Structure 1
Amino acid sequence: MKVSYKWLSEYVDVTGHTAEQLAEMLTRSGIEVDVVENRNKGVSNVVTGYVKSCEKHPDADKLNVCIVDAGQGEDLQIVCGAKNVAAGQKVPVALVGAQLPGGLEIKRAKLRGLESQGMICSAKELGLNDKLLPKEIQEGILVLPEQTEIGSSILEVLAIDDQVLELDLTPNRSDALSMLGVAYEIAAILGRSVQLPDAEAALQSADTAGATRAADRISVSIAAAEQCSRYAARLIEGVHIGPAPLWMQNRLMAAGIRPINNIVDITNFVMLEYGQPLHAFDADRLQGGHIEVRLAKPGETLVTLDDVERTLEPHMLLITDGSKPVGLAGVMGGANSEVSGGTTRILLESARFAGSSVRKTSRQLGLRSEASLRFEKEVNPEAVLPALNRAAALMAEYAGGQVASGIVEAVASEQEPVSINLSLTRVNAYLGTELTLAQVRETLDRLHFAYDPAPESSLRVHVPSRRGDITRDVDLIEEVARLFGYDNIPTTLMSGVTTPGSLTKEQAIRRAVRALLTQSGLHEVITYAFTQPGQTSDFAGLYPSAKPIALAMPMSEERSTLRTSLLPHLLDVVSYNRNRNMDDVAIFEIGKVFVTEEESLNQLPEEKLLLAIVLTGKRRQAHWALKAESVDFYDVKGIFERLTSYLGIEGLTYNAAQTDGFHPGRTAELFLDTGKGRKRIGTIGQLHPALQQRRDLDDTYALEVELAPILAAANASIAYKLLPRFPAIGRDLAVVVDQSAAVDHMQDVIAKIAGDLLESLQVFDIYTGERLGASKKSVAFALLYRHPDRTLLDEEVTELHGKVVQALEERFEAELRK
């Protein structure tokens, strides 16, 4: 939104504050101002001149010699090369000594022997955006209206002694998409009043004597109440199409809008003023002067004002004359009802269209306009009639029209007024302030919000319809904070109960799984959750009865279905690497698959979190002392068992299985004892040879498991013990026993007899030979004794060790080896 400083000053007194100061105040109060642009690009000493005569230069075919009255007491002779200069024109004249943009200084000069006492300027030479002007003006000098006073400063005539504030609005502040909305904001900041245009008085002063009743000539109906809640129209007859007054054109150009003609310019001017988009139809091109608001019919078309034929869809809202479309509601009018040079009767539209409907139509057709921008953000419903009356009054004044009495309108629904209870206690609690109720009331007065007293230091605030962003008391509290000044709010420490941040059990375990797999030499990959329908057929996966889920609006055919297995995309990663001479691949992914058994999806699919691992290539490269080794089934199995061991998971079993996509003799299903029975949680094995051949892969091994049961069974607690403070005593023990004696049974006996003082027990040698006899073996144990609270005595260890030897002798007929 571009806001002219001079235009703004017509609605609110900004005396004593520069445009830069207002920009700073607006930014500090919550509406950011990107830039303040000075419309004067360096123009000085340029006045309005009257071309009294214009003759060809005697020595140059492309030059003209003009005699110009510039209000300087004597006429000036100016040599001009513009093609469109002519006698009788009012033009901008840069006098000798004048400054123009770019540092150009005008001096006396001789052109082909004739003296030139100044320069007749074009819009571009004055630093104006000539792209906003008609093409014929872009290419020549700027011709001013006939009523322009000779000798007047061009800065005032073209209103370029002005500054423009460019607002960067957030979506909720649609009220600031109008000059009056910005005026209310500035008035609230400065504590001043707002001067509104008096459209009713202007209409009453217009010559309406003998005017016809609008209801006798035009009619309005709404057939799409959800998309259009109100539609109002006025009839203006006897208009004369021509240029808008220069002051209005200047206002539009300051806002970045190109002037077209008085009728169109008035609708744009009032849209900028009130924020309410308007549209003018040529009433004579409407069948029976009727307007019907309805949704488009399938296959219906409309040629819009940009001369492009649009094919419409049933959700698009149209303005029709009962038989044909004449406009896209809130977006753009139709060429078949466009105001042209021969138009004499105007049907003026002011309506409230649903923002969602306008937004959808605008985006789908690629049509963005100032009107659609405002409708998308929901215009002020109470501005519909004031804006309509204001534009009608301006058309009576500047287009010579006669306004038919009365407004013709259709109302489908009225917006309920918003009233909110505002508690002083909540205001201070939220802001950390100690404001009084009087201070809050003062803020509401500055905002021009009406209110009534309410019990317990609170107010019943009636929010004006222009502020559609305010729906709750916290919105009002924000308004209080903005105008009180964020810098004035004291800094206070936060209070309340705090909890330290931490990971959930599932998060901690997932992080541990990633770390462990990475430490095992695997690389984590992240693949698309979308796949192509054919890929799901390679693997039945963990959910063989799952139905593929098609996306409503896929990015491409390759990404048109939700995956039911992680493995297909992991194999794509393997192929990608092999195609780049990376044959040894070890990867894993933790991701979700989407499972449903419904043919037609009536509810959201179930999301399952899976872990998948794929290994292929060499486990170890060739070395001078070692041969290269390829990965096999036990590499995947070992990685997974290391993971489950680390997580403290027990009760894991393997059953040989035949599964789609896997080798029939090298595949197993994984089962986990959950305490409620065995649950199948995954598949591990080699890929089927046919699949490997189709994908041009070497022997490849894969694992896919469901993580939910693993996360539930995992033990996330950390067991630890203190480091020993006292020395240990070691004893070795070698005994000869029958070969049938089980070593683990012998270890159990030793541990039982030694008790808590035994810290560790290891078998470090088993020997058989002729010296022992054919049925004997020697087993050697290393025992380590330690007391946690004191130093052990050698005597007590010797006594305990003797009991261990005695127990072995009694239980296994063991003999100490000598």
Structure 2
Amino acid sequence: MLVPVKWLEEYTDVNVSVDEFCDRMIMSGSNLETVEYFGQGIENVVVGKILSIEKHPDADKLVITQIDTGASEPVQIVTGAANISVGDYVPVALHGSRIPGPLHGQPKQPGGVTIKKGKLRGVESNGMLCSCSELGFEDKVVPVAHRDGIWILDREYPAGTDIVKALELECAVVDFEITPNRPDCLSMIGMAREAAATFGTELRYPDTKCEEKGAEKTKDFISVEIRKPEYCRRYVARVVKDIKIEQSPWWLQKCLIFAGMRPINNIVDITNYVMLEYGQPLHAFDIRTVSGNQIIVDTAQEGETFTTLDGTERTMTGDALMIKDAEKAIGIAGIMGGLNSEIEEDTTMILVEGANFNGDNVRATSKRLGLRTEASARFEKGIDPNLTVQAVDRVCRLIEILNAGTVLRGTVDVYPKEYRAESVKVRAERVNAMLGVELSAKEMEEIFESLEMKVSRLGNTMNVTPPTVRQDLLTEVDFVEEVARMYGYDKLPVTLPRSNDEAKKSRKQRLRDMAKDALLGLGMNEIQTYSFVSPKGLDNIRMADDAEGRKLIKLINPLGEDTSVMRTTLIPNMLEVFGRNYSRNTLAMRAFELGNTFINNHHLEDPLPEEKDMLCAACYGEQESFFTLKGILSEMLYKLGIRELCFCPEENVGTFHPGRCAKIFAGDRELGIIGEIHPDVAEKYGIGTRVLCTELDFDQLCQLADTEKLYSPLPKYPSIKRDIAMVVKEEIMVAQLEAVIKKEGKKLLESVALFDVYRGKPILPGSKSVAFTLVYRAQDHTLTDEEVSKVHDRVLGGLRDEYGAQLREM
């Protein structure tokens, strides 16, 4: 919300510097973005009167003007402007003057532009006639009348007067960030109310009392029917005749320009001025275009087309609220009027509309049409329906003040259900307890009354009724915040939060930290990716059509197709990151992500999705292999106390390379999958090398994790080590052999470790040699060779009986 300080001072006194004003407004809860100072950077630019205009002898598009600048002699200036006439008053930049710029057709220069005399096509020019943009105004706020050409001033000014003083261009404009819960502050009066409460000054309201000359009445020219009261809480209409369309006076244009709006003509400017003043959007219809003298508020016909004021034809949906007459639609409620009811230069009678529309409906229609306006931005946040009459009366009063028309008597006001603010009980003790201060109930009452709230106090308890514009004040805690900000956030004592319990991490949080620490220590890098993903990711990783991961949750309002669903797996995101790094010549990479996935449970009674924590880890590079990732994974699981792992080959997994993939089990619990990414999948992500990847159900890991540390004394007795090399069939897994060794070794077997797998001569094709180191130890005595041989023979026998393993002799 752009707030010109000079305009604000019309409603309340601000007798402090701009810096102090900003500081104190911030401390009372008004967020400030920037402050812009208009009029700065303009030096030696004066008001000039055009005395004569002659054609340039050597240039068809240039003219030679003689300008009265208050000096003894006229100043000669050559210009290409086509919109000037003899007798016009214009801004003149004399020799040596400075303007903010930019000059026409040139980029804006830091520090502005210095104007110097020179010659144009051989004719001396001693300055420059200025446009609005050359004096520092943005193109979007330049008045329509001066958009293409020199700025023609609205009336006579003494020639030679400094343009900044003549037009009162010096003004500080403060840009306040208005939060969605404070739509009342999207107005000059709303910000003036905040300033008056902050500085303890009086709030002055604008003049809204109309003269209503003549005997004609508004109700004789228009009737109003609200067919959708759930979308329109109130509709107010007044009629003004004898309209004269012309340019607005400079004081009105200046307010609009400083507030970021373009002046158009007096009627449109007045409605925009009052919208900025009250925060209530308004619209004026040419009453000649309102068929049957009827206004009907109803929804559109599905698929009907409507052309808005900007000349764009739009297709409407059946829930879009429209303003209609007896035959057609003439406006989209709360957003924009129609081209078919636009104010024209020959308009003589208008209908002034002030209405209150449902914010949700306006927001939905605005978004669907891709059409956002100053009006829709206000309606969608919620507006007090009691503002409508004041705002419409203010428009009519300004029309009278500018002598732009005659206001008819009376108002058509359709208000199905009056809105009244509810009073809320506020306890002084509760306010003090929450803020840590010791204010009296009387001091709180004064704060509430400064914000135009009505207070009924009994002892330390107050019944407070906010003004209807403050629709955010609903419960006692809302009023506590009002006391805090008006008392001053900077005055509140600083204390630590009170708590009887020490903040502790949950078991799952601790396990997450342990898993991350372990992976980071093993050379992995943590990444974080978005939960919103593209559904194409599942196709890219070749996920089966009937897989659980295909049960996607679609977002209602996605930012785009690439972020339209919630992820069910972390693998596509991981491969996107790898693909991006590979394309930037990162030759090797290790990464992991621990995050949520979301499975659609629409088939169950519980409508909420199944949310799982998943762990995805991957690597690529010349030194990386399946066993690299398996070792990292096994070590991480060991840190979590999960030791008895089994890796079972898995063939039919589209994401992974056939024969290079395994499911991971701990006992009978499936933990996840590990393997080499299928080359076709890697190619989809632009990765031209082998990628190893694993994805684990972290919730399962948390259930199995055992981080309790048990003390074991150092062994008192020596161990005996035996190495064995067994020849087995190729399809027999090492894990199966280890299981037999552990079963037969019983208590004397302390550990078993694989140290070699060999294929080649003299091992026959289809077989392999697998070598283990077995360590035997007794806890209560020194083992003898006879004891060890007995157990060792049992191990060899078990391997032979279970898998036909033969002891390799050479």
Structure 1 length normalisation: TM-score?
0.74
Q: Which residue is 1:294 aligned to?
A: 298
Aligned residue for 1:381, secondary structure, equals coil
Q: 1:308 to 1:761 in 2, by over 3 A?
A: farther
Structure 1 unaligned blocks of 5 or more:
621-629, 674-678, 735-741, 749-757, 770-774, 780-818
- Following the alignment from structure 2 to structure 1, what is the Cα–Cα distance between the partners of residues 645 and 133? 83
Q: Which residue is 2:171 aligned to?
A: 162
Q: How big is the shift at 1:165?
A: 2.6
Shifted more, 428-437 versus 23-32: the winner is 23-32
Q: Which residue is 1:229 aligned to?
A: 233
Q: How big is the shift at 1:306?
A: 1.5
Q: Which residue is 2:736 aligned to?
A: none
Contact 1:20 1:36 in 2 (8 A): no
Answer with 1 or 2: which has the greater Rg: 1
Aligned residue for 2:74, secondary structure, equals strand
Contact 2:187 2:279 in 1 (8 A): yes
Q: Which residue is 1:812 aligned to?
A: none
1:718 maps to amino acid: K
1:81 maps to amino acid: V
Q: 1:708 to 1:389 in 2, by over 3 A?
A: same
List per-residue Cα deviations over 1:673-711 (Å, max 9, x = no partner). 6xxxxx543466778999999999999987665443442
Aligned residue for 1:549, secondary structure, equals coil
Q: 1:580 to 1:169 in 2, by over 3 A?
A: closer
Q: Which residue is 1:349 aligned to?
A: 353
1:2 maps to amino acid: L
Q: Which residue is 1:708 aligned to?
A: 699
1:715 maps to amino acid: D
Aligned residue for 2:346, secondary structure, equals coil
Q: Which residue is 1:808 aligned to?
A: none
Aligned residue for 2:261, secondary structure, equals coil
- Following the alignment from structure 2 to structure 1, what is the Cα–Cα distance between the partners of residues 541 and 119? 88
1:506 aligned residue (486, 489, 508): 508
Q: How big is the shift at 1:275?
A: 1.2
Q: 1:130 to 1:66 in 2, by over 3 A?
A: farther
Q: Which residue is 1:40 aligned to?
A: 39
2:301 maps to amino acid: K
**1:277 counterpart = 2:281:** yes
- Following the alignment from structure 1 to structure 2, what is the Cα–Cα distance between the partners of residues 525 and 133? 49
1:180 aligned residue (189, 214, 218): 189
Q: How big is the shift at 1:232?
A: 1.2
Shifted more, 169-178 versus 525-534: the winner is 525-534
Q: How big is the shift at 1:416?
A: 3.4
- Superposition pairs for residues 53-202 of structure 1, below 5 Å? 53-54=51-52, 56=54, 62-64=62-64, 66=66, 68=68, 77-82=74-79, 83-91=82-90, 123=132, 127=136, 132-134=141-143, 137=146, 140-146=149-155, 154-155=163-164, 157-200=166-209
1:487 maps to amino acid: D
Q: 1:219 to 1:104 in 2, by over 3 A?
A: same
Contact 1:619 1:631 in 2 (8 A): no
2:670 maps to amino acid: I
2:36 maps to amino acid: E
2:4 maps to amino acid: S
- Following the alignment from structure 1 to structure 2, what is the Cα–Cα distance between the partners of residues 111 and 539? 73
Q: How big is the shift at 1:363?
A: 3.3
- Superposition pairs for residues 604-619 of structure 1, below 5 Å? 604-611=608-615
Contact 1:533 1:561 in 2 (8 A): no
Aligned residue for 2:386, secondary structure, equals helix
Q: How big is the shift at 1:339?
A: 0.2
1:192 maps to amino acid: T
Q: Which residue is 2:324 aligned to?
A: 320
2:420 aligned residue (410, 416, 420): 416
Aligned residue for 2:382, secondary structure, equals coil
Q: How big is the shift at 1:574?
A: 8.2
1:23 maps to amino acid: C
Q: Which residue is 2:708 aligned to?
A: 717
Q: How big is the shift at 1:424?
A: 1.2
Contact 2:299 2:319 in 1 (8 A): yes
Contact 1:548 1:561 in 2 (8 A): no
- Following the alignment from structure 1 to structure 2, what is the Cα–Cα distance between the partners of residues 534 and 105? 62
Q: How big is the shift at 1:276?
A: 0.9
- Following the alignment from structure 1 to structure 2, what is the Cα–Cα distance between the partners of residues 578 and 558? 21
Contact 1:546 1:595 in 2 (8 A): yes
- Following the alignment from structure 2 to structure 1, what is the Cα–Cα distance between the partners of residues 112 and 660? 85
- Following the alignment from structure 2 to structure 1, what is the Cα–Cα distance between the partners of residues 748 and 136? 103
1:181 maps to amino acid: G
Contact 2:69 2:75 in 1 (8 A): no
1:54 maps to amino acid: S
Q: How big is the shift at 1:91?
A: 4.6
Q: How big is the shift at 1:549?
A: 2.7
Q: How big is the shift at 1:263?
A: 0.6
Q: Which residue is 2:551 aligned to?
A: 548
Q: How big is the shift at 1:443?
A: 1.7
Contact 1:45 1:95 in 2 (8 A): yes
- Superposition pairs for residues 362-761 of structure 1, below 5 Å? 362-455=366-459, 457-491=460-494, 493-494=495-496, 496-517=498-519, 519=521, 530=533, 531-532=535-536, 535=539, 548-549=551-552, 551=554, 590-595=594-599, 603-611=607-615, 631=626, 645-649=638-642, 680-682=669-671, 705-720=696-711
Shifted more, 100-109 versus 427-436: the winner is 100-109
Q: How big is the shift at 1:377?
A: 2.3
- Following the alignment from structure 1 to structure 2, what is the Cα–Cα distance between the partners of residues 708 and 80? 81
Contact 2:453 2:464 in 1 (8 A): yes
1:474 maps to amino acid: V
- Following the alignment from structure 1 to structure 2, what is the Cα–Cα distance between the partners of residues 484 and 476? 12
- Following the alignment from structure 1 to structure 2, what is the Cα–Cα distance between the partners of residues 116 and 99? 16
Shifted more, 693-702 versus 238-247: the winner is 693-702
- Following the alignment from structure 2 to structure 1, what is the Cα–Cα distance between the partners of residues 139 and 745? 100
Contact 2:78 2:120 in 1 (8 A): no
2:167 maps to amino acid: L
Structure 2 unaligned blocks of 5 or more:
101-110, 721-743, 751-776, 794-810
Q: How big is the shift at 1:512?
A: 2.4
- Following the alignment from structure 2 to structure 1, what is the Cα–Cα distance between the partners of residues 422 and 458? 16
- Following the alignment from structure 1 to structure 2, what is the Cα–Cα distance between the partners of residues 100 and 685? 69
Aligned residue for 1:388, secondary structure, equals helix
Q: How big is the shift at 1:239?
A: 0.8
- Following the alignment from structure 1 to structure 2, what is the Cα–Cα distance between the partners of residues 703 and 559? 24
List per-residue Cα deviations over 1:769-806 (Å, max 9, x = no partner). 9xxxxx99999xxxxxxxxxxxxxxxxxxxxxxxxxxx
List per-residue Cα deviations over 1:610-654 (Å, max 9, x = no partner). 45667899888xxxxxxxxx746xx87776665555444588778
2:243 aligned residue (230, 234, 239): 239
Q: How big is the shift at 1:546?
A: 7.2
2:215 aligned residue (204, 210, 219): 210
Contact 1:4 1:163 in 2 (8 A): yes
Q: How big is the shift at 1:600?
A: 9.6
RMSD: 5.1
Contact 1:536 1:563 in 2 (8 A): no
Q: How big is the shift at 1:473?
A: 2.4
Q: How big is the shift at 1:110?
A: 12
- Following the alignment from structure 1 to structure 2, what is the Cα–Cα distance between the partners of residues 173 and 777? 82
Shifted more, 117-126 versus 512-521: the winner is 117-126
List per-residue Cα deviations over 1:160-210 (Å, max 9, x = no partner). 24333332333333222211112212211221111112312xx13x4x222
Q: How big is the shift at 1:498?
A: 4.2
Q: 1:762 to 1:12 in 2, by over 3 A?
A: farther
Q: 1:501 to 1:57 in 2, by over 3 A?
A: same
Q: Which residue is 2:18 aligned to?
A: 19
- Following the alignment from structure 1 to structure 2, what is the Cα–Cα distance between the partners of residues 111 and 656? 87
- Following the alignment from structure 1 to structure 2, what is the Cα–Cα distance between the partners of residues 153 and 761? 107
2:371 maps to amino acid: L
Aligned residue for 2:274, secondary structure, equals helix
Q: How big is the shift at 1:281?
A: 0.8
1:17 maps to amino acid: V
- Following the alignment from structure 1 to structure 2, what is the Cα–Cα distance between the partners of residues 19 and 710? 60
2:40 maps to amino acid: K
Q: How big is the shift at 1:35?
A: 3.8
Structure 2 length normalisation: TM-score?
0.74
Q: How big is the shift at 1:244?
A: 1.6
Aligned residue for 1:460, secondary structure, equals strand
